[in-house]
């Protein structure tokens, strides 16, 4: 068996509803959740684009990805590998739905000749990956995943495998989502997924649904020795990942968290770690009754109900950004390692007594000694994703 190459993380870029840029995002994670029912990003694309025409020809989810990639690549510094050895994998759960909705209204109100010729390249799911590739001249693998709310996690995991397998020496990977169109919002609301109270309460006894949000998270991944050789600051390491299906239901998780258990166990094996090595779990924790119960059961089964990893869900603050969520949560783990502090699960006031006992962070941040950590993501369709990230 060929030895797999190590994967270093050398850059982080964030566009989130609680802060644009890593520092603002970190401060947002330590603050109470916004009071708005929709967690929208306060964002000006002119910060990342010089050409106004380019802004008009890019859907909002593509703009987020470009801005986050710019920050991540700036932090990583000059990649000392040729462009054909750099891959791009920016996933999205829904893609350019804002463009799709807007142009559908144009068609209905003004007729077919007024539909924009830029509609297709703006709404296509691979627009963000393509835009990053074109902007920076990256000519390695350039792909897009769409696995609902597991997308960001899957994208980072697969891009890391490209480097492990030698398909490229560096990759820009993550997820981006801007899906708060009126059609999408009402679709989620009518399926009873959204919180009628407008509060995100992961693992709380009164949790009643998620709060929809948007954003992007991008990581720069590099082959370890290449990053070391150029003197890059290594922020962390991708040790392993897993991607498995429930094969159970289009929206509900498998009973008893079976899919989540299998996914975490596979990721641990991929990383070469035992459950006792894990110091922290960044939970998917959407604040829906079924998801949180299923994940808590799975965490307890994998790690036991005694002293185990510290668990938090940042969705109390960020809301649920669908295909971007896993990437934003991977970024949160890396920032927690840098600051030696785990943000609390905001909105968690009374732990649901029906859940098994896991070590949830409540009310105040938790000081910790950084160690190998897990990030979980579970998406509609039964998609399960787990990343294992270690400190540098």
Q: Which residues pair with 210 in a beta bridge?
A: 194
Catalytic residue among 149, 154, 263, 280: 149
Burial of residue 354 (CB within 10 Å: 0-12, 13-18, 19+) is exposed
The encoded tokens of residue 347 equal: 């909105």
Q: Is 320 a catalytic residue?
A: yes
DSSP for residue 328: H
Torsion of CA 66, 317, 315, 95, to 10 degrees: -30
Q: Which residues pair with 13 in a beta bridge?
A: 218
The answer to whether 31 touches 18, Cβ cutoff 8 Å, is yes
Catalytic residue among 154, 280, 284, 383: 284
Q: Taken in order 335, 324, 390, 87, is the CA torsion positive or negative?
A: negative
Q: Is 266 a catalytic residue?
A: no
DSSP for residue 34: P
CB atoms within 10 A of CB 119: 18
| CA-wise closest residue to 355 among 204, 210, 206 | 204
Strands 142-143 and 215-223: unpaired
Q: Is 248 a catalytic residue?
A: no
Question: For every residue of 331-346, which 3-state class applies, written as one string?
Answer: HHHHHHHHHCEECCCC
Distance CA 337, CA 342 (A): 8
Query: Could you give the C-alpha distances from 325 to 70, 136, 319, in angstroms and in order?
Result: 19, 24, 9
| CA-wise closest residue to 358 among 253, 254, 280, 287 | 280
Q: Determine the length of the chain.
A: 392
Catalytic residues: 149, 284, 320
């Amino acid at each position: 068996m060929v030895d797999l190459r190590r994967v270093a993380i050398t850059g982080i870029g964030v566009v989130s509803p609680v802060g644009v840029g890593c520092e603002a995002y970190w401060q947002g994670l330590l603050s109470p959740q916004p009071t708005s029912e929709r967690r929208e990003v306060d964002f000006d694309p002119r910060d990342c684009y010089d050409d106004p025409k380019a802004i008009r020809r890019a859907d909002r989810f593509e703009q987020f990805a470009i801005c986050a990639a710019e920050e991540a690549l700036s932090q990583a510094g000059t990649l000392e590998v040729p462009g054909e050895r750099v891959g791009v994998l920016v996933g999205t759960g829904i893609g350019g739905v804002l463009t799709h909705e807007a142009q559908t209204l144009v068609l209905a109100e003004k007729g077919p000749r007024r539909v924009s010729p830029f509609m297709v390249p703006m709404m296509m799911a691979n627009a963000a990956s393509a835009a990053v590739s074109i902007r920076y001249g990256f000519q390695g693998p350039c792909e897009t995943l769409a696995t609902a709310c597991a997308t960001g996690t899957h994208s980072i995991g697969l891009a890391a495998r490209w480097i492990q397998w030698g398909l490229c020496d560096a990759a820009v990977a993550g997820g981006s989502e801007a899906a708060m169109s009126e059609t999408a919002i009402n679709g989620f609301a009518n399926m009873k997924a959204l919180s009628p109270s407008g509060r995100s309460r992961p693992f709380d006894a009164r949790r009643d649904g998620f709060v929809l949000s948007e954003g992007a998270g991008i990581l720069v991944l590099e082959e370890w020795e290449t990053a070391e050789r150029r003197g890059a600051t290594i922020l962390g390491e991708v040790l392993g990942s897993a991607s498995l299906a429930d094969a159970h239901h289009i929206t509900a998780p498998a009973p008893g968290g079976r899919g989540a258990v299998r996914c975490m166990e596979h990721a641990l094996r991929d990383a070469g770690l035992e459950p006792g090595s894990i110091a922290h779990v960044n939970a998917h924790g959407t604040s829906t009754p079924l998801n949180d119960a299923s994940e808590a059961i799975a965490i307890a089964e994998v790690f036991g109900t005694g002293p185990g990893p510290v668990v938090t869900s940042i969705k109390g603050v960020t809301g649920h950004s669908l295909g971007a969520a896993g990437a934003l949560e991977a970024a949160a783990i890396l920032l927690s390692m840098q600051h030696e502090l785990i943000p609390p699960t905001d909105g968690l006031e009374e732990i649901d007594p029906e859940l098994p006992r896991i070590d949830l962070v409540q009310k105040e941040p938790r000081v910790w000694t950084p160690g190998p950590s897990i990030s979980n993501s579970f998406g509609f369709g039964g998609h399960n994703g787990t990343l294992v990230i270690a400190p540098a």
